[in-house]
Amino acid sequence: MNRLILSILILSFPLQLMGQLFPLSNHYINDALDINPAFAGCHEALSISVMYRNQWVGFSDAPKTCLLSVHTPLNNDRIGLGLLVERNSIGIFKETNIIGNYAYRIELGEGILSLGLGGGITVYNVAWNELVAADANDAQLMNNPVSVALPALSAGTYYYTKKYFIGISMPMFLSHEIDKNSGKYKIGGNFSEANYIFTGGYEIGINKQLKFLPSLLLKYHPGNAIQVDYNALFSLKDKIWMGLGYRNSDKLVGMLQCQLSYQLRMAYSYDFDFSNIGKYTNGSHEIVLIYVFRYTRIVKGPRQF
């Protein structure tokens, strides 16, 4: 039954327009390079993050995401560079993004304003032969390529201080369309297929040991409903963070973070799905590891964002 439901979801995807599968991490406040190229260098030292997300546990071929993020400021602090490698899969669809990121950083007021651009390739792989079709000669299936590599572009701005952050971005905004005559993909300039993302958060000191960090992620896509993530974390001695998130698609997220050492942080989250599909799944898991090479630079302490 689970495989049947997932197959219906997959086949409901538009075959004539291939836009990036765009999962969002619950831990965007820790490393937002996958949604905003301007985040490159914001940890103020060489930083490496790995993330694994397993969505809709209990479904066969359910969405999964693996991500590697590497970024650092250069010695003059004006420029941040980053590399993002991301692998998304759902059913017969697989997508790999390899994106280089460039950020120009400007001291502004009490914080830093970062302007970012990202560029690279998106590789699509579609295993049409794994579908069981009533008509094996269906032209809708036969005319679609099995594998293709296309350019990808991202743009964004990010402003952060010791207490708060604000970001606006358009990650991987190029649309990739299929030519009906040739059956080949082409690059489109259809901004109605782009995702527009706003993030923001503020750290509130309750006492010397306890801090409160509310944050917000808003994703707008012209063809879909606005997605809003509300997160609230409590920090104890800058060592342990615990909190909850709510997504307006009937999801409640439990989050836990631990600063295992001065350089290493681990984050875990579990999604409780209260929508109709939640009746058939065991939720979603996400785990993130972040290692910051703080000994190479003068850094006052672990940054939350």
- Asked if residue 179 has pLDDT above 50, the reply is yes
- Asked if residue 111 has pLDDT above 60, the reply is yes
Q: What's the pTM? A: 0.85
Can you give the pLDDT at residue 8?
44
Question: DSSP label at 10?
Answer: H
Give the number of other CB atoms < 10 A from CB of residue 247: 18
- Give per-residue burial for 65-80: e unless 16+ CB within 10 Å, then b: bebbbbbbbeeeeebb
Can you give the pLDDT at residue 104?
97
- The C-alpha R_g of the chain, in whole angstroms, comes to 20
Can you give the pLDDT at residue 175?
75
3-state secondary structure of 156: strand
pLDDT-based confidence at residue 258 (cuts at 50, 70, 90): very high
- Asked if residue 91 has pLDDT above 60, the reply is yes
Token pair of 242, please?
Answer: 């615990």
Q: Which CATH architecture is the domain 2-293 placed in?
A: Beta Barrel (2.40)
Instruction: Work out the burial of residue 111: count CB atoms within 10 Å of its CB; fewer than 13 is exposed, 13-18 middle, 19 or more buried.
Output: middle
Integer Cα distance of 185 and 38 in angstroms:
29
- Asked if residue 259 has pLDDT above 90, the reply is yes
Token pair of 216, please?
Answer: 């917000």
How many angstroms separate the Cα of 247 from the Cα of each of 226, 227, 229? 11, 7, 5
pLDDT-based confidence at residue 147 (cuts at 50, 70, 90): confident
Instruction: Work out the burial of residue 115: count CB atoms within 10 Å of its CB; fewer than 13 is exposed, 13-18 middle, 19 or more buried.
Output: middle
Side chain identity at residue 75, one-letter code: N
Mean pLDDT check: name the lowest of 26-40, 229-243, 281-295. Answer: 281-295
Integer Cα distance of 52 and 28 in angstroms:
13
- Asked if residue 4 has pLDDT above 60, the reply is no
